[in-house]
Chain A
Amino acid sequence: MIWSSWEAFWAMGGYGRYVWGSYGVFFAIVALECWQLRLRRRAALQEARRAAARPGR
């Protein structure tokens, strides 16, 4: 095992802020993109439903 404890793991040999700063932003961006994709899909479905309900087309 590389890490003697969880503290050592989070400290990353003194590079914790750089390592976790990279991974934190990566996962935050992935989460934001997934959320944005969901919102946009919902909006598109709603808009399509509205267009389908509009009479005379």
Chain B
Amino acid sequence: MNSTTENPPVARMNAWWYSSPQTFYRLAGKLAPWFAALAAILTVIGLYIGFFVAPTDATQGQSYRIIFIHVPSAWMSMFLYVVMAFWAAIGLAFNTRLSSMMATAIAPTGALMTFIALWSGALWGRPTWGAYWVWDARLTSELILLFLYLGFIALQAAIDDRRRADKAGAVLAIIGVVNVPIIYFSVQWWNTLHQGASVSVKGSSMASIMLAGMLVMVFAVWMYCIAAVLYRVRTIILERERHTAWVRELVAGEPLK
């Protein structure tokens, strides 16, 4: 696969066509603003429901409103890790450059989501449990998730050769996947201070308007993460494909902004 040559029209029929960094750069540029706009709109709707429609919680008072940011960021922190490991594994197995770039692009957003989950959890824990932090299975495994993201970023940054950095990062990411089910099932496997899931396949233990607000915020944060990753992967493509003919042509025609 040579990204410096134009793709023949017939290749458009093939899904693999999008695995070319050049093609994906354009596609991501078209899609990212839509995801960003969707994220903004959903955030406004979600926070409106969360703060102005959803009633006060009977046992937790107003402190429960942290849920509208805590659950979406916690879900995304785990989901993004699995997606990151998936792309890293594809990159490792098939030596596809774009897959590895995707994994690298996901890591910072995943780390930030993990941090927000931990931070909002600490601020929720203080009024609810009386402590910002406890060495509970759920909290500890989520902290390990943050270290896995940071380890992935640090490891890739420490290796100069990009393809080697991709491979080393992929191995770390794949091994770390074992932590995701541990986080998810920790509240069932161990006696934790952290409550069990409010939402499951069997239904929800929350009032439906609270649940609606939370789910809208889940989609808002999800769309934000997609937008951020698409914007970042574009930059990573530019950085790594700097010396290819298509990037030269691209920057030749584009004014400085």
Contact = CB atoms under 8 A, between A and B. Distances in A.
Interface of A: 1-3, 9, 12-15, 17-19, 21-23, 25-26, 29-30, 33-34, 37, 40-42, 44-49, 51-52, 57
B126 A18 contact: yes
Contact of B127 (A9, A15, A33, A48): A15
A23 B70 CA distance: 9
Contacts of B97: none
A25 B120 contact: yes
A40 B235 contact: yes
Interface stretch (B3-11, B58-66, B78-86): B58-66
Contacts, number: 98
Contacts of B247: 48, 51-52
B147 to A, nearest CB: 18
Contact of B242 (A13, A17, A37, A51): A51
Contacts of B54: 2
A26 B69 contact: yes
Contact of A48 (B70, B124, B224, B238): B238
A48 B123 CA distance: 43
Interface of B: 51-52, 54-56, 61-63, 65-66, 69-70, 73, 108-109, 112, 115-116, 119-120, 123-124, 126-127, 224, 228, 231-232, 234-235, 238-239, 242-243, 247-248, 250-252, 254, 256-257
Interface of A is mostly: helix
B242 A14 contact: no
- Dominant secondary structure of chain B at its interface with chain A: helix
Given A40-B232, A51-B242, A57-B243, A33 B108 contact: yes
B238 A33 contact: no
Contacts of B52: 1-3
A44 B70 contact: no
A51 to B, nearest CB: 5
A15 B116 CA distance: 18
Given A23-B69, A26-B120, A45-B251, 20 more contacts: A1-B52, A9-B51, A13-B61, A15-B61, A18-B66, A18-B123, A18-B126, A19-B63, A25-B119, A29-B116, A33-B108, A33-B112, A37-B231, A37-B232, A41-B235, A44-B238, A45-B256, A48-B251, A51-B247, A57-B243
B65 A51 contact: no
A22 B242 contact: no
A3 B52 CA distance: 8
A25 B66 contact: no
A34 B232 CA distance: 10
14 contacts: A1-B52, A2-B55, A13-B61, A19-B123, A33-B108, A33-B228, A34-B228, A44-B238, A44-B242, A45-B251, A48-B242, A49-B251, A49-B256, A51-B242
Contacts of A9: 51
